[in-house]
Amino acid sequence: MPQKITASVKSMVETAKREIEEIPAAEAVKLHGRDDVVLVDLRDPRERERDGKVPGTFNVTRGMLEFWIDPESPYYKPQFGEDKKFVFFCAGGLRSALATKTAQDMGLKPVAHIPGGFRAWKEAGGPVEPGEAKKSEGKT
């Protein structure tokens, strides 16, 4: 018997977005470099290598997020214990909406996400460093 999926990604993202704070990219760019804010890049390392990265971000793959947030986990990262605002982003804003909702449900606060993700960040004029793939293309 084929699987019957009862919750679509679209509905899960829509639900999450009703319950989390969203910070438009232009506003998020103004938060860059502040001591009380951590920009959390959820993109896969291959995405950062290919597309570039926001300087000074804390990078965590979506699959390890819960483990890095939980202080009882052997994978806990002390950055998530700091008294700061955590602003999540991914490539386009879907993974970060789900991740922000998960982090909020786990008790991390304050948290927010950037709708439109890295793409919106670049369009808003946010600083971007080239990824390793782009750097190596320029070498002869």
Query: Over the stretch 17-47, which tens digit does the pLDDT of each residue have?
Result: 999 999 999 999 999 999 999 999 999 999 9
- CATH H superfamily, domain 19-129: Rhodanese-like domain (3.40.250.10)
Give, in degrees to the nearest 5, the angle at Cα 85 between 83 and 87.
Answer: 145
Return the domain boundaries, the chain: 19-129
Residue 13 to residue 19: CA distance in whole angstroms: 10
Query: Over the stretch 76-128, which tens digit does the pLDDT of each residue have?
Result: 999 999 999 999 999 999 999 999 999 999 999 999 999 999 999 999 999 99
Q: Which residues contact 133 (CB under 8 A, 6 or more apart)?
A: 49, 50
pLDDT, position 123: 98
Specify the pTM.
0.92
Instruction: Tell how far CA 99 is from the center of its chain.
Output: 7
